[in-house]
Amino acid sequence: MGASLVRPVARPVAGAVAGAVAGAARRLRTFSSRALSVSSVASEEEDDYVWTEADPSLQCACRFTDNFFVKRLRMHVAFDGTREAFESAYADALEGVSEEDIAAILSELRAERRRRQTHFAEARRRRAFIKARYRALHPDVYTLDPETHLDARFRELAGACVRALADGAADSARDAKALVTGECADILRQRPAGVFAFPVFREAFCAKLREECAHFERSGMPLSRANSMNDNGLLLFELGMYENLLDPLVRDYVAPVAAALFGDGDPFAVVTRTKCDTTKCDTTKKHRNHGTFTCPGATSIDHHRSFLVRYDAANETRTRNNANNANVDLAYHYDDAEVTLNVNLGGAFEGGELLFGGSGEDERAEAHVRDRTRDLTPVTHREGVGILHRGAHCHEATPVASGTRVNLIAWCRSAAARKRRCAMCFRARVA
């Protein structure tokens, strides 16, 4: 679930920085250690995997009312379950839309609301069903082997981040980000600002993971879409890829990299902004100097929501006739994540670049609408290369012109930060 709707931002209570990375690692290691054995009987009751995402204390009420993506309108909307409120709030967007299409939109919104209300229980049931009946094509992709699965440069980068964080803790005058970008200048690329690219997976692993997921999709096993914006994808929790593959990947590699690159300042800070005096404001600068955005929770990442997405140019023809089938691009939005890792798994394709804009934390409406008059630096996908950015950094994916683009997305999250404020509506959750 992404979002493009602005909401009031409240400042949460600041948390302590010291020990945050180590504490997050301990929490992630704890929830990883209770993995299920292959021989366990698949039933919801016997699946004791600690799935942090499903923790009720981390859920905000906005999950059931906000950020519903409507493909026919190419926008996110709020929906309380009633037609009257929806039509009143979005009268301008619905102008000229047929009664038939409005009815279809409302039907989709109600279905999405029901899906969110039952998601966690249903996901566990699907996971148990799949575990009992699915036979993997490549069993080795379910357990992380750093030597064969990860690019050596990613291992080097993660190691440099661990050292830089330790050095920074010992000497507050030393900046972990500066240390890492200096030591790993030949590994890291930052363009645009706040968006980092670096090798993550070996090509052979990318090919195996693509094949495994394609094999699963052909198996007839139950499927659920990855998020409300893309219908072509897989929830990797349900495939059993968390315990031994993605949990250690996030815990031992992604978390220290995120902490080093985005963890400067208070990990629970939201935003420091000055009020705009409209009588003196230089509107030609788009208020760019009126807010400094940080990355809440970057040093306390302890869980994730990971999924596979696929963008297929073969959908383009039917997309022209039915916007609801659009799976060739992704509209402007921000992620339900403190930090997002987006890794391309290869395949033959053209297009599909990422474009980055404003911040979801920004209260100004223009930050949530793609400025078509401004050229944005396209971030291209290359097999095995990961793109790391703040979840609140608004972005979009351009259409895939040919072929199929397959990416693994890890929405990396911090329970400590989420207990203080929601990552989607940005409201403070602790007074």
Tens digit of pLDDT for each residue in 247-267?
999 999 999 999 999 986 534
Structure tokens at 143: 């357990």
Mean pLDDT for 54-80 is 90
pLDDT digits (tens, 9 = 90+) for 310-361: 988 875 444 433 444 446 667 888 999 999 999 999 988 999 999 998 877 7
Q: Which residue has the tokens 């929405």?
A: 411
Partners of 156 in beta bridges: none
Query: Which pLDDT band holds residue 429 (cuts at 50, 70, 90)?
Result: confident
Q: Average pLDDT of 40-47?
A: 49
Q: Tell me the average pLDDT across 223-238.
A: 80
| 45 in a structural domain | yes
CB 423 within 8 A of CB 382: no
Report the side by side order of strands in the sheet with 393-397: 2-3, 330-335, 393-397, 354-359
Question: Is the pLDDT at 158 greater than 50, yes or no?
Answer: yes
**Please, are residues 84 and 72 in contact by the beta-carbon 8 Å criterion?**
no
How many domains does the chain contain in total?
Answer: 1
- List Cβ neighbours of 88 (8 Å cut-off, separation of 6 or more): none
Q: Is residue 426 part of a domain?
A: no
**H or E segment to which residue 109 belongs:** helix 99-133
The more confidently predicted of residues 39 and 22 is 22
Per residue in 275-308, pLDDT tens? 343 343 443 333 333 444 567 899 999 999 999 9
Q: Whole-model pTM?
A: 0.82
What is the rounded average pLDDT of the residues 199-224?
Answer: 95
Mean pLDDT confidence for 404-426: 93
pLDDT of the residue at 379: 94
Q: Give the pLDDT confidence score for residue 25 in this predicted structure.
A: 54
- Range with the poorest average pLDDT among 14-23, 119-128, 331-340, 377-386: 14-23
Residue 431: inside a domain: no
Would you say residue 134 lies in a domain?
Answer: yes
Residue of 235, 200, 149, 157 lying closest to 387 (CA atoms): 200
- For the ranges 126-135, 170-179, 299-308, which has the lowest average pLDDT? 170-179
Note the pLDDT of residue 156: 98
Residue 312's SS3 state is: strand
Q: Which domain holds residue 70?
A: 2-418
Question: Residues 400-417: what's their mean pLDDT?
Answer: 94
pLDDT at position 368, please? 54
Question: What percentage of the chain exceeds 90 in pLDDT?
Answer: 56
Q: 381 CB contacts (<8 Å, ≥6 apart)?
A: 344, 352, 353, 354, 387, 405, 407
Distances (CA, A) of 20 to 122, 164, 165, 299, 396: 33, 15, 11, 6, 31
Q: Which amino acid is at 300?
A: S
Residue 377, domain member (yes or no): yes
What does the mean pLDDT of the chain come to? 80
pLDDT of residue 391: 93
Cα of 196 vs its chain's centroid, Å: 15
User: Has residue 130 been placed in a domain?
Assistant: yes
Cα separation of 358 and 247, whole Å? 30
Q: Is the residue at 279 inside a domain?
A: yes
If phi > 0 it is left, if psi is from -120 to 50 it is alpha, else beta; for residue 23 that is alpha
Please indicate, yes or no, if residue 424 is contained in any of the structural domains. no
CATH of the domain at 24: 2.60.120.620
**Nearby residues of 401 by Cβ (< 8 Å), 6 or more positions away:** 313, 349, 350, 351, 352
For 157-226, the DSSP string reads HHHHHHHHHHHHHH-TTS-HHHHHHHHTTTT-EE-STTEEEEE-B-HHHHHHHHHHHHHHHHTT-----S
CA 266, CA 191: separation in Å to the nearest integer?
24
